[in-house]
Structure 1
């Protein structure tokens, strides 16, 4: 919403739009968690990008990433949160630190969702004519 402009009256609508975008992404991620965990993780990441100082949203993103077995992305998400908070002289909560450590140590094997194409799992089915 008028990103290039810096009008005082735009501050509140911009913030409302940002928060609505975060809520929508998190809600959709919850709905897709079982059927499309990769998309759910991507949506959780997008929400965390919009809320760089939020422990809660970073935790949700890290958990979604762990569900698909992407421990490198868990570590990266935690690092982005830590860096953002450091910029404002804060640090992640004890719960976030513990969760990040737990998820990074857990060597989860991601379920095989096949070849992901267009954000959806692709499974090659054998030729039935044989």
Structure 2
């Protein structure tokens, strides 16, 4: 039996390595993404309500059958014969054994972390989850039903990142290797900025603490919000501690050639 077909839904949705000469209809791809985010199964009624809300009832079912047929045909063309999408009890269901979907890998890693019996096992599972989430669900798509799922998955990834950073407490360089990637993905996640500030302070980098505070303030201003008092208090305390320790680069740098402070 051919191996599972690889599907990406985190970022631009696609069948990975698919024949460009045999691409999915736009609605067929939307159906594939929809089933993926619902763990592979949805009722025909839910699919019609979410994917074809404006279609006349007399035509909606026929259109859905067309998209299902197209999806099956393209999957078989790219991954060989087999049963990829079944229709039991008025539901449409992806055959989990025939798919390797990035979102499913992320969720499986989170479940593995929750069930881990040792710290190394938990850290490894959280790393897999965090590394899998690189871009938002169905990036570039504006499906009408999409936003609540996109936000929920983003929160799953954010929670995994926060948990991984906590597990790496005491290892600031390792924390920052995770956080420097995660912060641009979650630009409003204050917990990430707080942890990054602490890690930068442990490394004696006052300028970086300042920069994190400025970046968070600027990002939140874009959504008419401000950093919490806890975040501001933490930043002020860390910067004060670093100055007392002689880490203020504004003081340590020599004046410029005109005698002005740098």
Q: 1:14 — aligned with what?
A: 150
Q: How far does residue 32 in structure 1 lie from its aligned partner after superposition? A: 1.9
Q: 2:179 — aligned with what?
A: 44
Partner residue of 1:31 out of 167, 170, 173: 167
Query: In the aligned structure 2, how far is the partner of 1:90 from the partner of 1:24?
Result: 24
Q: 1:90 — aligned with what?
A: 225
Alignment TM-score, normalising by the size of structure 2: 0.37
Contact residue 176 and residue 196 of structure 2 kept, 8 A? yes
> 5-14 or 41-50, which moves further after superposition?
41-50
Query: In the aligned structure 2, how far is the partner of 1:18 from the partner of 1:102?
Result: 30
Q: How far does residue 11 in structure 1 lie from its aligned partner after superposition? A: 1.7
Asked which structure has the greater RCO (Cα within 8 Å, sep 6+), the reply is 1
Unaligned segments of structure 2, at least 5 residues:
1-9, 11-137, 247-262
Query: In the aligned structure 2, how far is the partner of 1:86 from the partner of 1:33?
Result: 29
Contact residue 55 and residue 81 of structure 1 kept, 8 A? yes
Contact residue 44 and residue 64 of structure 1 kept, 8 A? no
Query: In the aligned structure 1, how far is the partner of 2:154 from the partner of 2:143?
Result: 17
Q: Which structure has the larger Rg over C-alpha atoms?
A: 2
Contact residue 165 and residue 195 of structure 2 kept, 8 A? no
Q: How far does residue 95 in structure 1 lie from its aligned partner after superposition? A: 2.2
CA RMSD of aligned residues (A): 2.3
Alignment TM-score, normalising by the size of structure 1: 0.67
Runs of 4+ in structure 1 off by over 6 angstroms are none
Query: In the aligned structure 2, how far is the partner of 1:29 from the partner of 1:57?
Result: 8
